[in-house]
Amino acid sequence: MTTIKAICCIGAGYVGGPTCSVIALKCPEIKVTVVDLSKPRIDSWNSEKLPIFEPGLDDIVKKCRGKNLFFSTDIDSAIREADLIFICVNTPTKTFGLGKGRAPDLKYIESAARHIAEIADGEKIVVEKSTVPVRAAESITRIFDANGSRGKFQVLSNPEFLAEGTAIKDLMEPDRVLIGGEQTREGYKAIEALSSVYEHWIPKENVIKTNTWSSELSKLAANAFLAQRISSINAMSAICEATGANVSEVASAIGRDTRIGRHFLQASVGFGGSCFQKDVLNLVYLSEALNLPEVANYWYQVIAMNEYQRRRFASRIVNCLFNTVTDKKIALLGFAFKKNTGDTRESASIYICKYLMEEGARITVYDPKVEKDQIMLELTQPSISEDPERVERLITIADDPYKAVKDAHALVVCTEWDEFKTYDYKRIYDSMLKPAFAFDGRMILDHCHLHEIGFQVETIGKVVSSGYMLPLTPPLAPPKEEK
């Protein structure tokens, strides 16, 4: 079995940084180098303020950095020195061309593979950590074989299953580690070498070894199944609101069934993040490419339901505010796609803002971790807004939640930050215009208490108060696609 003495991680993002930091902590005899083309990103990893927020990550990086954990832009040296190379680059959904809106863009994967082929010599284990479609490892191998490099490579699939906000815990105590490789003598040897790294802190029985394609598909399938559960309970929430049922009670009841389980049955304004939507769309595209249209349509409904939930919630805001939000101030609490992260990718807040801006609302955004520049960047993307000047006019970023809600017609909770539960809502109510509305898109507030204070309360999956509710209007139109 190959002994791993040095690891190179290409890509210093949400996967590469935390993963390699934990490996460095648990494997002090292994030199771990995280490399990236972006000097500002590497400088951030070498500074006191890391480029990503993840509970527990700061302590690990500070403990290992400069000892056996290094962050560098010297990609060539790190590749030459490494026995094992992780590819942790971004694989976004294509925004143009064939497969636009569904297929993964693999240009960064290909670029990394070509760079490795050009630079590396000797035996190397190259590991896919990025989410990729099935048989991507085969494409990487073909690049290595076709470029006549001096290296001898084994390509493995080792997808990550960490969740943002709990990434360090997920890495320290994973449900499983999945390693896929070629079913050959050399492939088995490479699988065992990578497994030996994880076995420093993970029981051997928790390491699942498969062929490469099963590993690649398992990553897409896992996220698709989780996204499906969220869309399913959100579909139930719409029925609950129409019938008077309580979606939390329904979720609790069905979650007691051990065949179903309790996880991912929290109704909300919709899922976000870098993985769920992208991976489901990848599965849709894969199914279409394999001439399985019924399978593609099935998985696409997971995305359609998520989009419907966002539109439905935004439409409810407009409906409750007397069918117009033009020039009304709405305080939006939370812009990250979930608590305990500063990541805003595919956040429901982006789409809620988009819908409300189309209706002329003036929105004040507060988030405890997301910077102003990041919020404005998300809202001025061409696929979200065609008029950046209009965004500048309608969007205000607040650095204090009480300032955000002052003189607002409504507050809208879009991220489940724990601090939102602790605010002085009597003080907030007194500072707002009346009637004051509270829209809880994450079901985290004390709705009875808010109602007693005087709020008109609206939430997902149940009816709290509807005294000012007008007849339902059609859902808002979906965002316009970029032409």
Instruction: Look at the alpha carbons of 365, 370, 372, 376 in this order and tell me if their dihedral is positive or negative.
Output: negative
What residues contact residue 330 under an 8 Å CB cut-off, 6+ apart? 317, 356, 361, 362, 363, 364, 408, 409, 410, 411, 412
Task: Give the span between the Cα atoms of 384 and 69, in whole angstroms.
Answer: 39
Does the annotation count 275 as an active-site position? yes
Residue 36 assigned to a binding site: yes
Residue 89 assigned to a binding site: yes
361 phi, psi to nearest 5 deg: -75, 150
DSSP annotation string for 343-357: --TT-HHHHHHHHHH
Q: How far is CA 205 from CA 171, 202, 208, 209, in A?
A: 16, 8, 7, 10
Catalytic choice (64, 275, 353, 414): 275
H runs (alpha helix) in 244-399: 247-255, 276-289, 293-320, 348-358, 372-379, 388-394
CB atoms within 10 A of CB 3: 9
Residue 90 assigned to a binding site: yes
Tokens representing 290 are: 């394999």
Residue 345 assigned to a binding site: yes
Q: What is residue 254's DSSP assignment?
A: H
Residue 15 assigned to a binding site: yes
Task: Give the span between the Cα atoms of 182 and 167, in whole angstroms.
Answer: 28
The three-point CA angle 324-431-329 to 5° equals: 25
CA atoms within 13 A on the CB side of 306: 25
Amino acid at 5: K
Residue 164 assigned to a binding site: yes
Residue 13 assigned to a binding site: yes
Residue 14 assigned to a binding site: yes
Any idea which residues carry the catalytic annotation? 275
Residues annotated as binding site for NAD(+)? 11-16, 36, 41, 89-93, 130-131, 164, 275-278, 345
